[in-house]
Amino acid sequence: MIGAEVVVRSLHGCGVDLCLANPGTSEMHFLSALGAAPGLRPVLVLQENVATGAADGYARIAGRPAATLLHLGPGLANGLSNLHNAARALSPVVNIVGDHATGHRRLDAPLTSDIRALAETVSVSTRCVMPGRGAGAETAAAVADSLGPVPGVATLLLPADAAWSEDESAPGLPQRGPAVTTDINPAGLVEALRRPGAVLLLGHGALRGAGLEAAGRVARATGAALVAQTTNPVVDRGAGRVTVERLPFAPDAARARLAGAPVIVLAGARAPVAFFAYPGKPGRLTAPGTTIIEYFAPECDAVAPLEALAEACGADGDTARNPAVLPGRPVGALDAAKLGALLARHLPEGTILVDEAMTNGVPIAAATAGAAPHRWCQNMGGSIGSGAPLATGCALAEPAAPVVSIIGDGSAMYTIQALWTQSREGLNVKTIILANRAYRILQAEVAKLDPARRTNAMDEMLRIDAPEMDFVAMAQGMGVPGIRVADCDGLDRALGRAFAEPGPALIEVTL
Amino acid sequence: MIGAEVVVRSLHGCGVDLCLANPGTSEMHFLSALGAAPGLRPVLVLQENVATGAADGYARIAGRPAATLLHLGPGLANGLSNLHNAARALSPVVNIVGDHATGHRRLDAPLTSDIRALAETVSVSTRCVMPGRGAGAETAAAVADSLGPVPGVATLLLPADAAWSEDESAPGLPQRGPAVTTDINPAGLVEALRRPGAVLLLGHGALRGAGLEAAGRVARATGAALVAQTTNPVVDRGAGRVTVERLPFAPDAARARLAGAPVIVLAGARAPVAFFAYPGKPGRLTAPGTTIIEYFAPECDAVAPLEALAEACGADGDTARNPAVLPGRPVGALDAAKLGALLARHLPEGTILVDEAMTNGVPIAAATAGAAPHRWCQNMGGSIGSGAPLATGCALAEPAAPVVSIIGDGSAMYTIQALWTQSREGLNVKTIILANRAYRILQAEVAKLDPARRTNAMDEMLRIDAPEMDFVAMAQGMGVPGIRVADCDGLDRALGRAFAEPGPALIEVTL
């Protein structure tokens, strides 16, 4: 058996069933082995950041890693920013990068670069399969690395000669390291959470299923506020779900929200810091006098510690839940709140909502809080261009669920190529492009500058209105049917049609 | 003056007049300074690999660096693969990357990553402006680094607080280090070049202007064959230009071409190696018995050593030149040779031809050898997705020249976002998409595999025909008028119309 076959069999044996690929010459033997493997589905993408972002989305919904297949250093480079996002989401990804044959590297052929240096910036581990020995064990170790103790991107370099050479090693077997747990006794937190203004800050798994339920009981029993960190990989929300505030993205607002908290208990969340620094303002969003206690880390399973905390609190009643209240049917020209209202009214139960709505995200989130129960996926690393790839991966993980991908027009253009894969695979992704024809989030930043520093040329650089992009045409060019809407009636009809049948669709919303 | 203003003034003072930007929050003060600067033109791109590839194209044609403006590590990551190509082209680029404020980095906010590690994989130098001191000198040094001794990517990290803080340093002044020269005496090469079968292998500047003319005289005087390395940043070619063979991309063909050479003299070229390794085949393309002499390096100015060599040869006559012979007007269904013939018949003198034609490149090159004199730009690092950005940069460097960008459909989809910038800036780029609906170059690689290793699933992964992409629709969506043609008459008319008026246009050619 050649090395490529050992790698593929090991991946499959370790539970990997999807490979998001953009291969090149050095990956031909791997592609051959992949094509011959039952149970390991290859999915082609046109640009690597679609592969890596889709692997992130797949991991969030499936709870297990997909493999990527990238071509040498430049292919890895093209996928790095969504690997950055995946790493921040703690999404397991087995990131397979083809390399030149080991003996070819020293010739410094045109595509040669320092792949390891690139990989290490985003990876929990960077391994290399060497020709003729141990492809099975190395692959199994990479899968295990991706899963923990801290889940993330495990890069596996596969030199072409390691792929094509005979390798007698047995396919690797699944391994699992020790899980991360907490050594904080929950009984010690109860008094802190009972202090007026106390915050239980939830992140990652604490916003899902039984963990979120337990957090709700803790809040009810102690009076602590339940606050979600600004972004999270998946949040269970909608009607009947435990009510959770979201910490604002805007640093002044976030600081104001947390200013009065005597104590913040971190449950799967990180101590909140501003996305960006501003002159004369602190980077931490918490007041100097606030006590911060990390109960458990983001990578820790959230259910056991939150249930233990609920028990320590003597919590046995119910908790505050989102009422099943849909907004009224809006009319007239569209804005984000009206869009959110219409979306809430149409949203099928079980939808996966991918949010790269940027400045429009807050009103849309508010409007959909009481919609049918759904999952909410956010950008974790702040690198925009994650929305369309994430949605692609979510749909691959759960083909039966509708996926709604809400993306700002500026953001959408980083990875618009994802639409083609959505069409090719018939994925049930409904893309909503928020076409305000500007980098609105940067316009908001400009507004914070000293007015003397604003110039027309600067304003011009934050507008993307000339030429006006036509996302319906672009979608059509990649096989996705689209429609442009400018008012509530139009969006109402478009959403009705989009959810009425499976498969990809795009709605460009003029805002 | 704040640091951002010092950086901008220093760039301009050192001869940088273009900034290809995709900014984010941490770059707002730089953008403000840029907007206020006369003579430093900001150009907005929708994805960072367009900025970096355009900077490569600009440098090739203008002969001086453009600046980029990228947002933190993920923005740099998105532009890395075309920086890799630029580095291989020895194109000077001042690669400006905004970073978090220095005090914010340790908070590990979502967008934090190891920017320096990423930058160092492609850069001749990686500098960082520190707040309040020396922005002028650091910027001037970065510009100088980009220019030599070995030209390339000089990365300048600009933390947000370095941009917004007062910096009393004077704007930096142009610096220029010593030029790279050769210490080989040309007289010692004459006998070698007179040996039957000798090859003078040309690369980089040796394929342009006076250097190429001198090389032609050397060939005539010595009988040595003039061969161009497979890819080069800019080649002067067309009717009346010195005739030069091109070393084939296919390694077997290249090896066969060089097999009989007793000696190869490298003039701005590197010793030829295969792009990729293959089982049981050597990576070097030269025979073990061939003597290889490096006369001068790719980064060396080519004119002086080639003129000295011509003088040493006693060359005083003319040389073999491409005859001004246009192919006959083809008819019927299109293929690459017919496309090349039609292009040759329409090509305006002075055109810049950007070649990412992949498998179709050889017949197109053959057909255009006798066309009106033009410049030919190729992908130097092998990372596909360079064509549309390169063409964008070439057009920014020389707005009056027609730029023809010939791109395979697979390649085009890595950086299709460049079309929007071409439209926004009204650039004179005629994009020809070669729509064969496949990664044809990889299909050729599959054909080299043991037939037992071919599978249907593998073949499926190399086809991009379902859904069939519509490049005319995509171009329209980004403001570029387009047309699809499938036969010679259609292409003939489309080329006529495209060259008749300035501005961007796209022709999708069904092959």
**Residue indicated by tokens 């009224």:** A328
User: Of B46, B456, B469, which has the smallest distance from its Cβ to A477's Cβ?
Assistant: B469
Using an 8 Å CB-CB cutoff, list chain A residues near B34.
Answer: 457-458, 461
Angle between helices B336-346 and B488-500 (to 10 degrees): 30
What residue of A is the nearest CA neighbor of B461? Answer: A44
Q: What is the dihedral of CA A72, A77, A82, A87, to 10 degrees?
A: 80
Calpha distance B352→B354 (Å, rounded): 6
For B367-396, what is each residue's pLDDT tens digit?
Answer: 999 999 999 999 999 999 999 999 999 999
Q: Cβ(B319)–Cβ(B217) under 8 Å?
A: yes
The closest of A293, A339, A502, A315 to A436, measured between CA atoms, is A339
Q: Is the pLDDT reported for residue B177 higher than 80?
A: no
**For an interface test with A, which of B275, B449, B459 has the most A Cβ atoms less than 10 Å from its Cβ?**
B275
Taking an 8 Å cut-off on Cβ atoms, the answer to whether B100 and A276 are in contact is yes
Q: Which helix (H) or strand (E) holds B446?
A: helix B440-446
The fold of the A3-164 domain, in CATH, is Rossmann fold (3.40.50)
Pairing of strands A235-237, A374-378: antiparallel
User: Of B108, B382, B467, which has the smallest distance from its Cβ to A479's Cβ?
Assistant: B467
What residue of B is the nearest CA neighbor of A81? Answer: B74
Bridge partner residues of A125 (DSSP): A154
Mean pLDDT of B473-490: 98
Please tell me the number of Cα atoms within 13 Å of A66 on its side-chain side: 32
Helices (H) and strands (E) in chain B, counts: 20, 18
Q: Is the pLDDT reported for residue B179 higher than 90?
A: no
What residue of B is the nearest CA neighbor of A447? Answer: B28
Residue B332 Rama label (left phi>0; alpha psi -120 to 50; beta): left
Q: What is the pLDDT along chain A (511 residues), one digit of tens a residue?
A: 999 999 999 999 999 999 999 999 999 999 999 999 889 999 999 999 999 999 999 999 999 999 999 999 999 999 999 999 999 999 999 999 999 999 999 999 999 999 999 999 999 999 999 999 899 999 999 999 999 999 999 999 999 999 999 999 888 999 887 888 999 999 999 999 999 999 999 999 999 999 999 999 999 999 999 999 999 999 999 999 999 999 999 999 999 999 999 999 999 999 999 999 999 999 999 999 999 999 999 999 999 999 999 999 998 778 899 999 999 999 999 999 999 999 999 999 999 999 999 889 999 999 999 999 999 999 999 999 999 999 999 999 999 999 999 999 999 999 999 999 999 999 999 999 999 999 999 999 999 999 999 999 999 999 999 999 999 999 999 999 999 999 999 999 999 999 999 999 999 999 9
User: Of B114, B455, B473, which has the smallest distance from its Cβ to A476's Cβ?
Assistant: B473
For A399, the token pair is 């083909």
- pLDDT recorded at residue B240: 97
Mean pLDDT of B140-149: 96
Q: Is the pLDDT reported for residue B508 higher than 80?
A: yes
CA B460-B466-B469 angle, to 5 degrees, is 130
Using an 8 Å CB-CB cutoff, list chain B residues near A358.
Answer: none
The CATH number given to B336-510 is 3.40.50.970
Calpha distance A404→A406 (Å, rounded): 6
One-letter amino acid of A369: A
Pairing of strands B93-99, B123-128: unpaired
Using an 8 Å CB-CB cutoff, list chain B residues near A4.
Answer: none
**Which segments of chain B belong to CATH 3.40.50.970?**
3-164, 336-510
Taking an 8 Å cut-off on Cβ atoms, the answer to whether B461 and A47 are in contact is no
Task: Write down the mean pLDDT value for chain B.
Answer: 96
- pLDDT recorded at residue B358: 85
**For an interface test with A, which of B45, B70, B83, B113 has the most A Cβ atoms less than 10 Å from its Cβ?**
B113
What residue of B is the nearest CA neighbor of A83? Answer: B74
Look up residue A341 and give its DSSP letter. H
Q: Cβ(B433)–Cβ(B55) under 8 Å?
A: no
Q: Cβ(A203)–Cβ(A231) under 8 Å?
A: no
Calpha distance B273→B285 (Å, rounded): 5
Bridge partner residues of A58 (DSSP): none
Calpha distance A292→A227 (Å, rounded): 14
For B229-244, what is each residue's pLDDT tens digit?
Answer: 999 999 999 999 999 9
CATH class of B186-312: alpha beta
**For an interface test with A, which of B414, B423, B470, B506 has the most A Cβ atoms less than 10 Å from its Cβ?**
B414
- pLDDT recorded at residue B38: 84
Taking an 8 Å cut-off on Cβ atoms, the answer to whether A467 and B473 are in contact is no
Q: B466 pLDDT band (50/70/90 cuts)?
A: very high
- pLDDT recorded at residue A466: 96
Using an 8 Å CB-CB cutoff, list chain A residues near B382.
Answer: 74, 109-111
Calpha distance A273→A249 (Å, rounded): 10
CA distances from B141 to B16, B154, B171 (A): 13, 9, 11
Calpha distance A282→A289 (Å, rounded): 14
Q: Is B346 exposed, middle or buried (0-12, 13-18, 19+ CB in 10 A)?
A: buried
Q: Does the predicted interface ipTM exceed a cut of 0.85? A: yes
For B249-304, what is each residue's pLDDT tens digit?
Answer: 999 999 999 999 999 999 999 999 999 999 999 999 999 999 999 999 999 999 99
Calpha distance B308→B187 (Å, rounded): 9
Using an 8 Å CB-CB cutoff, list chain B residues near A455.
Answer: 32, 35-36
Distance from CA of B144 to the nearest CA of A (A): 24
The closest of B167, B163, B156, B142 to B26, measured between CA atoms, is B163
Q: Cβ(A393)–Cβ(A51) under 8 Å?
A: no
CA distances from B163 to B100, B155, B457 (A): 10, 16, 52
Taking an 8 Å cut-off on Cβ atoms, the answer to whether A32 and B164 are in contact is no
Q: Cβ(B339)–Cβ(B220) under 8 Å?
A: no
Q: Cβ(B473)–Cβ(B449) under 8 Å?
A: no
Number of residues assigned to chain B: 511
Thinking of the domain A187-312, which architecture would CATH place it in?
Answer: 3-Layer(aba) Sandwich (3.40)
Bridge partner residues of B179 (DSSP): none
For B417, the token pair is 């976002």
Q: Cβ(B334)–Cβ(B386) under 8 Å?
A: no
Q: Cβ(B47)–Cβ(A414) under 8 Å?
A: yes
- pLDDT recorded at residue B433: 98
CB–CB contacts below 8 A, A to B:
303
Distance from CA of B477 to the nearest CA of A (A): 4
Q: B316 pLDDT band (50/70/90 cuts)?
A: confident
CA A263-A268-A272 angle, to 5 degrees, is 55
